[in-house]
Each structure stands twice: as C-alpha cells, then as structure tokens.
Amino acid sequence: MCRSVIFTNGTEERRLAGVSKEREQLKLRSSVVVTQIQQLGTFYPAEPEHQVLYYFNGEMCGFP
C-alpha cells in the first residue's frame, strides 16, 4: 500500500499544497483525496543504490 504526502517548507508552501489538494478533490467528487500535508523535517539523501525508482506501470525513472 502506498500513500502520498506533500512535504512543505514554510507557510506559503503549506497554503499552496492545501489549495492544490482542494482543487484535486473537486475533480474527484466520488473519491476522497487522502494526501497528507506535513512540514518538511530533516532530509537524508538515499544511498546511490537507492536512487532508482520504479513506477507502478513498470517504467523506470532514474535520477542522476
């Protein structure tokens, strides 16, 4: 199971994330947008071997 989270850095980013979430909720009237909005904490970069992500559809996305 996956969940989505928007990490914000400051009040303006938090406000914009909330506006975005509300906009998406209006598009999805039969579903509930459960994306959480949280304050950004300490960021720890992943090790090089974890820099490749796989999407659910099987496409690979790598970050340099």
Residue 6: is its pLDDT beyond 60? yes
Position 61 confidence tier, pLDDT thresholds 50, 70, 90: low
Residue 51: is its pLDDT beyond 70? no
Beta bridge partners of 33: none
**Domain of 10?**
5-62
Mean pLDDT across the chain, nearest whole number?
A: 82
CB 8 within 8 A of CB 14: yes
- Overall number of domains in the chain: 1
The whole-number pLDDT of residue 63 equals 46
Tell me the Cα Rg of the chain. 15
The whole-number pLDDT of residue 58 equals 52
